[in-house]
A and B are shown apart, each in its own frame.
Chain A
Amino acid sequence: MTEKPGPEDTTLDAPTHSALKRLVVSLADSKRLMGIRYSDWLLGAPSIETGIAASSMAQDEWGHARLLYAMLKDLGADPLEAEHTRPMEAYASVDVLDAPFGDWAAVVAGMVLADGAITVALDAFCKGSFDPACSRIPKMLAEEEFHRSLGDAWYRRLAGCGSTEATELLRGATERMLPPLLRWLAADDQIEALATAGFTAPGDAQVAAFRDAVRDVVAGVGVDVDAVRIREDAWDPSRGRGPGHPDADAVERARGDRNRALFVE
C-alpha cells in the first residue's frame, strides 16, 4: 500500500511538494472567491429562499476554504499567511471568479460551471493519496451536492422559461466561462506530476469528468460542451491559472482587511 503523506511527511521531493501546495492554494482561493460571489447575491436574488440559499452556500464555501487553507500546515506552510496577507496578484483562484457576476443568469452559470469545476477538482484530489484531502473533502462534496442541485434546477428553468433575454444571458455566461474553466482543469505539467504521484487525477480525466457533469445542462441553451475548445493562451504556472487576479474589493474581503484590528484566531 502506498504511504500517504501527512503532517510529518518529509518524503516529497521539492517539485511535488510545490505542486501540491499550489493545488491546495488554488482550491482554497477558488472556494473563498466562490463564497464572495455567492455573498454578492444574499440580497437581490430572485426570491427570499434563493437569497437564503446563496447565503448558506457562501458560508459553505468559506468553510471549505478554511479547511483547505488548513491543509497547508500539513505541507509546512502557514495557513494564516495564505489567508490574510497575500497580495491580490498572488491569488490562485479560478479566472472566472475574478469579477462579480453581473446578473442572475451569470450566478446560475457560475453555480453550475465554476462551482462544478471546483467540485470536479476536489473530487479528484479527494480520491488521491493525500491524507488530509481524503479525510476532509468528502463532507465538502456532500454539501456541494445541494449547490449542484440548485444550479442545475435554476439553469434548466431559465433555459426553458421562454424568455429570449434569459436564454441569451445564460448562453453568454456559459460561453464565457467554459474555455477558462476547461483550461483550469486541464492544467499543466505540475498537475500531471501530481497525478503520476497519485495525488489527483490527470488533467484530461478531470476535463472529461467536467464535460460529463455539465453536458446535459448546458445543452439547454444550445451549447455543446464537447465542441468547446480548451483555451490555450497565457498561463501562470506559479498559480496554476491564467494571468490576472480577483478585483481589489474581493481580495480585501477575502483577507479580512477591514477587520484586521479585530482579528481573532
Chain B
Amino acid sequence: MIEIKGIHKRYGNVPVLEGIDLQVKSGEVVCLIGPSGSGKSTLLRCINGLESYDQGDVLISNERVDRNARSIHDIRSRVAMVFQRFNLFPHRTALENVMEGPIYVKKENPQAARRNAEALMEKVGLSRRMNAYPDELSGGQQQRVAIARALAMNPQAILFDEPTSALDPELVGEVLAVMRNLANEGMTMIVVTHEMAFARDVADKVCFLHSGKIVESGPAGEVLSTPTHPRTQDFLRRLLNHSAEVQA
C-alpha cells in the first residue's frame, strides 16, 4: 500500500536519506529505529509530503506523493500523522480537535462528526475529558487525543513520529496501549520509536536506519534479538545498557 523506492534527500550538502526502499502492506506495522540523525523522522515526513525528497518515489496506493502537487492534500487526508509534541490545536477543546478534520476537510455532517469523535474519545479512554482544552490535559492524554484526531479521518495508514518521546515515563504506557489496540485491529502503521519492547511485540517489520540508509530490516524478533549488522548490534547494546542503568 505504501511503497518507497530509492528516495534520496539532502539538506544543502548534507545527505539525509541515501536510497531508501521500503514497502508497507495494508495492515502491517513497521517500526523505524535508529540513532538520532539517522533520517528516520525525515523518511516518515516524506511519506505524507511534510518534507520533499530529491530523487525516487513515494507511492501511496500507487499515487505518487509530491508536496508541490495538488493531490497532496487528498493524500494527507488519507494518511494521518501523530507527532512527538502532539500538536493539538490549543484554542479548541479535545473533542473539537478530533472533529476538525472530518468537518472542515472531509465536509462531514457536523452531527455525525461529533458522534464519531465522541466514540473515538471513548476508544482512547478519554470520554470524560472531551471538553477539556489541551493545556488542561497531561501529555499522555494529549497524545491520545492526537491519535483520536488521526483516527477521525478514517485513514488508510497512520504515521507516528516518536509518539512517546516527549512524555514523562509514567505516561508512556497509556499511549502505547492505545497503539497496540490499533495494531491488533489491523491499522496500517509506520512508527518511528525508541520503544524496543513495543517494536518487538507489535511490529511485523523493524527497519534499522543509519546515516540515511536502512542497514537492516526484517521481522521484529530477528532484527532486535539477533541483529547481523554491526551498527544495529552497537545501537541495541547501547540502548540496553541505558535502560539497565535507568532501572538500576
A and B part of one assembly: no
